[in-house]
Amino acid sequence: MDNVTIEKLKKLVRNVPDFPAKGVQFKDLTTLLKNGEALNVVADALVELYRGKGVTKVVGIESRGFIAGAILASRLGAGFVPARKPGKLPAKTIARTYEKEYGTDTIEIHEDAIGPDDVVVIHDDLLATGGTMHAAYELVKSLHPAKVYINFICGLSFLDGRKELPADVEVKTLFDF
């Protein structure tokens, strides 16, 4: 993806002050996702990052990670695994509780969602402080997949969320603020 395209994508992201709490400058990617051309650029760029890497599962983090995560899984011919809030998945789950920018939360995945032969991309829309992705990574790793990649559409580099993620795991964002 060239810088012109990245700049166009960044301009489509809406800044929402004081959401969900006073002092937070929320980056709303729904304004990017509602643009069909931009959504296809994002999908194409994500696929290029993982083409030929043998990805068998994409884990999408609730809820915005479901959007591009499911598209990525479909285009790679991989399965899609939702990482959800407690009580939303119907079968036996494993869970992790974690700190967020403005509180704590818990995510779960089905305990049989990933196996030892799986190559997994964990996807979310935005990397902020890294707490949600760190919890998702711990869940996935506890199921002993062959390989794990981490991916975001964008990152907030000023929050340095990358430091919360394992140094030995490839972490990619399409662009950063």
Parallel, antiparallel or unpaired: strands 119-127 and 79-83:
unpaired
Cβ neighbours for 77, distance < 8 A, ≥ 6 positions apart: none
Of 62, 99, 101, 138, which residue is the catalytic one? 101
Q: Are 83 and 61 in contact (CB under 8 A)?
A: yes
Q: Is 51 known to be catalytic?
A: no
- Residue 28: other Cβ atoms inside 10 A: 16
List the one residue out of 125, 118, 161 whose CA is nearest residue 141: 118
What's the Cα-to-Cα distance from 138 to each of 2, 148, 174, rounded to whole Å?
33, 11, 23
How many Å apart are CA 86 and CA 106, to the nearest integer? Answer: 7
64 is catalytic: yes
Q: Which of 64, 96, 108, 164 is catalytic?
A: 64
Which residues are tagged catalytic? 64, 101
